[in-house]
């Protein structure tokens, strides 16, 4: 008898990496690595899973091995080396294949049987017979329309659209809505032509992905500095796989990327352009499409599941997209042959996925992905991450410096104002120093635009009682609530729960609750009071809930409809505005004082980046930086745009206090519904681990937010020498977990690993 066929199937559950199933003989021929199969998991639960291995070995198991129920895809939905990349990710970030599968695989794809993917159709218009076969017949049609001017216009318009030169080839049909818009005629005219059997309607399957129908542009000519940087990169790639392009804000890095992409396409390879945030995709999509047109696909978290499936399917085809522009999750798409990955704004922390697993860093994972394809990685930033700059310094990465701005526009002039002193002298007008207000006034008069930056959304971070210091907290998370004035509610920024604002202090009954600190909403209100006639907009995660509102806020600012844009760090990321001549940083201190070893690095990056939005084209921009720590060395470095100064101070501290890039951090978080249980289990787990890891283990401690959505948290931090092998570490962890199993509650304890936490 022939041996039975077994397969390993990756399922969207976080327990094991894969589960073994057997294949009924009738289905054997359809099984390949990367195909989808329908299986029963547990009792009566059905999942669509991914075939990751095929074998004939029947291993003795406690459970019976079930047959798969059906196959769900005719061919593999993966490309090499995707599975290997997933496996690497699980190894490095200590997660399970199922978690990767769940996170990266489009839902509409995962279950064809209960298919959530829907084909999109649209109504089109075409000529009826015999007009579609013989153009001469059309003359008769026109003759019959002598008395119907609107119908005649519509028909002319239809014919015109069909021979539109931008469509390259003649089409014989056009979407109904498009025809009505272009002909400026109404539905009655169209119905008239349909009743006369000249035109007819039909439904057609269409793609959800945008098609670009404008004329393509030639690439911009690089200036001599860009040209030099470009040649250095090309040269560097002969020897090294990764190159860091350290280029000032507005030095024209994007133009260099575009040249590199063009070179990559010439070699018949694909390019992946990574951005830290969907916020940025609009501007860069426009730029890339104007050069590369429909070769560009765009992938981000706000596109629908159906679009996701279409992009994935597109890339599985032989003539799929050659360029993907996307956010971190686009590293998981099925690339055929990557030649280049660009990681723009590589220092951005949003490249790190926080929750749920896989908690990967897209920049670091991209470098591995590129290696698997034999491709190169270019990291670009005006303020590189400490890690990347360190790697460039010690020769692991190549390093290219571009320290001239395009058209030699000077870097903005940053002036620091001492708000502590001004407050003491009672000279602050609400949140603003006299100097900032004076500059805003001048800008407004000169019809120039202004950006005001406050790295905190909402109205006030906390409301508190002046008498007893009571602070409202979230019921489910141990975190104080932020006051949102527009909705007149208190909101938890961790779980999103919203609470009515109390009218008096529930603790002492005092009726005057005061806001403390301030967020973007408060800035908006205050500016409105001082400059009531000025049009302003606010950009933060509250106002830019979806991509459309985000885009409209930005395009209103680009077109000059709004004069002042107030926002959080969403503003700092590589946006390119022509007419901004002033940036106000309202409070540098909250960023600098943040309790994290990266706080100064982040504060420097944020402030230098947001400053770089000022005066990008014609004139030198200005920045007013408000701080209570005027003499702090970091402030001085920001004023001088002194990246190296910041780096040198920080790198010494990293070494001294055992932080990256010298040490690797792993955060282990324990979660349980009972506080004393999680405390006890974490202590015990740490005790066992400490026997092998010694002083490399810190904790357990309560994290700053010690309760999230009714789960209590404890945390352990591992600081490991870069040379420690992950394999031996895993053995230690697994051993400790086994020892913990004697505790009854251990199986209800959630343990999360965060490798290289940010
Ligand atoms: P960066 O990415 O370094 O911040 P960008 O590539 O966005 O800089 O360039 C800043 C501005 O200068 C953009 O508006 C861009 O169109 C323009 N620019 C840069 N290089 C060129 C070039 N070689 N030719 C024409 N315009 C350029
Ligand atoms: Zn909460
Ligand atoms: Zn009180």
The pLDDT tens digits for 306-359 are 888 899 999 999 999 999 999 999 999 999 999 999 999 999 999 999 989 999
Asked if residues 261 and 440 have their Cβ atoms less than 8 Å apart, the reply is: no
Q: Is the pLDDT of residue 168 over 60?
A: no
Q: What is the pLDDT of residues 472-525, one digit of tens each?
A: 888 887 777 888 888 888 888 777 788 888 888 888 888 878 777 788 888 999
Nearest-atom index, ligand 1, CA of 257: 6
CA distances from 444 to 92, 440, 441, 531 (A): 52, 6, 5, 10
Residue 701's φ and ψ, nearest 5 degrees, are: -135, 165
Mean pLDDT over 365-393 rounds to 98
The region of weakest confidence among 38-47, 158-167, 201-210, 315-324 is: 158-167
pLDDT band at 113; cut points 50, 70, 90: very low
Q: What is the pLDDT of residues 232-244, one digit of tens each?
A: 999 999 999 999 9
- The residues with which 513 forms a beta bridge, in sequence order, are 465
Residue nearest to atom 4 of ligand 1 (CA): 250
Q: Is the pLDDT of residue 163 over 70?
A: no
- Name the nearest CA neighbour of 364 among 719, 87, 93: 93
Q: Is the pLDDT of residue 381 over 70?
A: yes
pLDDT band at 205; cut points 50, 70, 90: confident
Pocket test for ligand 1, best of 244, 250, 290 (most atoms within 8 A of CB): 250
Q: Is the pLDDT of residue 170 over 70?
A: no
- Name the nearest CA neighbour of 582 among 529, 626, 622: 622
Q: Is 264 in the pocket of ligand 1 (CB under 6 A)?
A: no
Which position has the token pair 């990496």?
17
Instruction: Indicate if the alpha-carbon torsion angle 555, 558, 559, 563 is positive or negative.
Output: positive
Nearest-atom index, ligand 1, CA of 402: 3
Q: What is the pLDDT of residues 508-520, one digit of tens each?
A: 888 878 777 788 8
The predicted structure's pLDDT at residue 472 = 85
Residues 6+ apart with CB under 8 A from 689: 697, 716, 732, 733, 736
Residue 56 CA to residue 459 CA, distance in Å, equals: 63
The predicted structure's pLDDT at residue 171 = 67
The predicted structure's pLDDT at residue 485 = 80
For the chain, what is the mean pLDDT?
89
CA–centroid distance, 471 to ligand 3, in Å, is 8
For the record, the structure tokens of 209 come out as 């992905």
Residue 672 CA to residue 667 CA, distance in Å, equals: 17
What percentage of the chain has pLDDT greater than the value 90? 57
- SS3 category, 591: helix
Residues 6+ apart with CB under 8 A from 424: none
Which position has the higher pLDDT, 395 or 657? Answer: 395
Strongest mean pLDDT among 55-69, 111-125, 144-158: 144-158
The predicted structure's pLDDT at residue 1 = 53
Bin 213: left if φ > 0, else alpha if -120 < ψ < 50, else beta. Answer: alpha
Peptide bond into 130 cis (omega under 30): yes
Mean pLDDT over 112-125 rounds to 71
Residue 328 CA to residue 564 CA, distance in Å, equals: 30
The predicted structure's pLDDT at residue 610 = 93
Nearest-atom index, ligand 1, CA of 248: 3
Instruction: Print the SS3 string covering 127-185.
Output: ECCCCCCCCCHHHHHHHCCCCCHHHHHHHHHHHHHHCCHHHCCCCCEEEHHHHHHHHCC
The predicted structure's pLDDT at residue 694 = 94
CB neighbourhood size of 735 (10 A): 13
Q: Is 223 in the pocket of ligand 1 (CB under 6 A)?
A: yes
Residue nearest to atom 24 of ligand 1 (CA): 220
Q: Is 283 in the pocket of ligand 1 (CB under 6 A)?
A: no
**What does the longest C-alpha to C-alpha distance in the chain come to?**
96
The predicted structure's pLDDT at residue 488 = 84
Alpha carbon dihedral 676, 678, 680, 681, in 10-degree steps, equals: 160
Q: What's the whole-model pTM score?
A: 0.86
Q: What is the pLDDT of residues 606-619, one digit of tens each?
A: 999 999 988 866 77
Residue nearest to atom 21 of ligand 1 (CA): 252
Residue 562 CA to residue 555 CA, distance in Å, equals: 9
Q: Is 385 in the pocket of ligand 1 (CB under 6 A)?
A: no
Residue 41 CA to residue 13 CA, distance in Å, equals: 10
Q: Is 229 in the pocket of ligand 1 (CB under 6 A)?
A: no
Q: Is 406 in the pocket of ligand 1 (CB under 6 A)?
A: yes
CA–centroid distance, 693 to ligand 3, in Å, is 46
For the record, the structure tokens of 604 come out as 């420097």
* Ligand lying nearest the CA atom of residue 469: 3
Q: Is the pLDDT of residue 117 over 60?
A: yes
Q: Is the pLDDT of residue 167 over 80?
A: no
Mean pLDDT over 109-135 rounds to 73
* Ligand lying nearest the CA atom of residue 291: 1
Sequence length of the chain is 758
Residue 497's φ and ψ, nearest 5 degrees, are: -65, 140
CA–centroid distance, 464 to ligand 3, in Å, is 8
Residue nearest to atom 15 of ligand 1 (CA): 252
Q: What is the pLDDT of residues 411-451, one digit of tens each?
A: 999 999 999 899 899 998 889 999 999 999 999 999 999 99
The predicted structure's pLDDT at residue 440 = 96
Q: Is 572 in the pocket of ligand 1 (CB under 6 A)?
A: no
Residue nearest to atom 19 of ligand 1 (CA): 252
The region of weakest confidence among 125-129, 197-201, 468-472, 636-640 is: 468-472
pLDDT band at 110; cut points 50, 70, 90: low
- DSSP conformation class of 219: P
Q: Is 404 in the pocket of ligand 1 (CB under 6 A)?
A: no
CB neighbourhood size of 652 (10 A): 10
Residue 586 CA to residue 599 CA, distance in Å, equals: 17
Residue 583 CA to residue 413 CA, distance in Å, equals: 10
Mean pLDDT over 676-681 rounds to 95
In a 10 Å sphere around its CB, with 0-12 CB exposed, 13-18 middle and 19+ buried, how is residue 170 labelled? exposed
């Amino acid at each position: 008898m022939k041996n039975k066929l077994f397969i390993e199937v990756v399922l969207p559950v976080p327990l094991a990496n894969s589960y073994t199933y057997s294949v009924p003989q009738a289905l054997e021929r359809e099984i390949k690595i990367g195909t989808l199969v329908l299986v029963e998991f547990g009792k009566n639960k059905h999942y669509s899973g991914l075939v990751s291995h095929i074998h004939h070995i029947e291993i003795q198991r406690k459970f019976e091995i079930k047959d798969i129920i059906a196959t769900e895809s005719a061919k593999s939905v993966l490309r090499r080396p995707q599975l290997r990349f997933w496996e690497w990710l699980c190894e490095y970030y200590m997660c399970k294949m199922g978690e990767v599968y769940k996170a990266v695989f489009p839902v509409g794809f995962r279950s064809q049987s209960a298919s959530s993917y829907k084909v999109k159709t649209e109504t089109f218009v075409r000529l009826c017979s015999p007009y579609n076969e013989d153009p001469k017949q059309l003359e008769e049609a026109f003759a019959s329309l002598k008395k119907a001017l609107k119908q005649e216009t519509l028909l002319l318009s239809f014919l015109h659209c069909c021979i539109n030169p931008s469509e390259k080839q003649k089409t014989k049909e056009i979407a109904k809505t498009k025809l009505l818009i272009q002909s400026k005629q109404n539905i009655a005219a169209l119905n008239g032509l349909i009743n006369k059997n000249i035109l007819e309607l039909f439904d057609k399957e269409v793609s959800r992905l945008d098609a670009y129908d404008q004329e393509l542009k030639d690439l911009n000519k690089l200036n001599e500095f860009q040209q030099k940087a470009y040649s250095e990169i090309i040269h560097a790639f002969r020897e090294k796989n990764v190159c860091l392009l350290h280029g000032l804000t507005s030095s024209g890095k994007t133009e260099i990327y575009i040249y590199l992409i063009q070179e990559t396409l010439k070699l018949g390879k694909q390019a992946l352009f990574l951005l830290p945030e969907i916020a940025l995709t609009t501007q860069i999509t426009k730029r890339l499409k104007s050069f590369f047109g429909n070769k560009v696909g765009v992938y981000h978290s706000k596109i629908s599941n159906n679009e996701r499936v279409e992009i994935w399917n597109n890339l599985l085809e032989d003539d799929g997209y050659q360029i993907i522009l996307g956010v971190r999750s686009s590293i998981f798409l099925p690339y055929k042959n990557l030649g280049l990955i660009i990681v723009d704004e590589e220092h951005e922390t949003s490249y790190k996925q926080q929750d749920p697993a896989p908690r990967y860093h897209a920049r670091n994972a991209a470098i591995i992905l590129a290696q698997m394809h034999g491709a190169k990685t270019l990291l670009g930033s005006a303020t590189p991450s400490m890690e990347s700059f360190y790697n460039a310094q010690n020769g692991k990465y190549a390093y290219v410096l571009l320290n001239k701005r395009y058209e030699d526009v000077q870097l903005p002039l940053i002036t620091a104002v001492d708000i502590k002193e001004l407050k003491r002298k009672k000279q602050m007008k609400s949140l603003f120093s006299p100097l900032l207000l004076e500059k805003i006034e001048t800008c407004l008069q000169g019809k120039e635009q202004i950006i005001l930056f406050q790295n905190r959304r909402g109205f006030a971070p906390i409301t508190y009682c002046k008498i007893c210091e009571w602070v409202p907290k979230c019921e489910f998370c141990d975190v104080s609530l932020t006051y949102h004035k527009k909705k007149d509610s208190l909101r938890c920024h961790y779980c999103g729960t919203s609470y009515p604002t109390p009218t008096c202090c529930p603790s002492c009954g005092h009726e005057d609750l005061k806001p403390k600190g301030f967020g973007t909403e408060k800035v908006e209100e205050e500016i409105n009071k001082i400059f009531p006639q000025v049009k302003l907009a606010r950009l933060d995660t509250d106002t830019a809930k979806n991509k459309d509102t985000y885009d409209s806020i930005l395009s209103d600012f680009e077109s000059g409809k709004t004069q002042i844009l107030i926002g959080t760090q969403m503003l700092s990321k590589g946006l390119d505005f022509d007419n901004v001549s002033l940036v106000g940083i309202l409070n540098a201190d909250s960023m600098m004082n943040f309790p994290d070893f990266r706080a100064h690095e982040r504060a420097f990056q944020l402030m230098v980046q947001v400053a770089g939005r000022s005066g990008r084209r014609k004139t030198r921009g200005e920045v007013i930086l408000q701080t209570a720590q005027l003499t702090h060395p970091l402030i001085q470095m920001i004023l001088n745009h002194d990246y190296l100064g910041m780096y040198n101070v920080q790198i010494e501290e990293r070494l001294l206090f055992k932080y990256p890039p010298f040490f690797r951090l792993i955060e282990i978080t324990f979660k349980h519904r009972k506080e004393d249980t999680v405390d006890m289990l974490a202590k015990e787990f740490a005790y066992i681990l400490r026997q092998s890891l010694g002083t490399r283990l810190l904790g357990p401690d309560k994290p700053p937010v010690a309760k999230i959505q009714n789960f209590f948290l404890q945390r352990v931090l591992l600081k490991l020498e870069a040379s420690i092998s992950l394999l031996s570490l895993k053995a230690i962890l697994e051993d400790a977990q086994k020892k913990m199993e004697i505790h009854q509650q251990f199986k209800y304890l959630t343990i999360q690993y965060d490798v290289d936490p940010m």
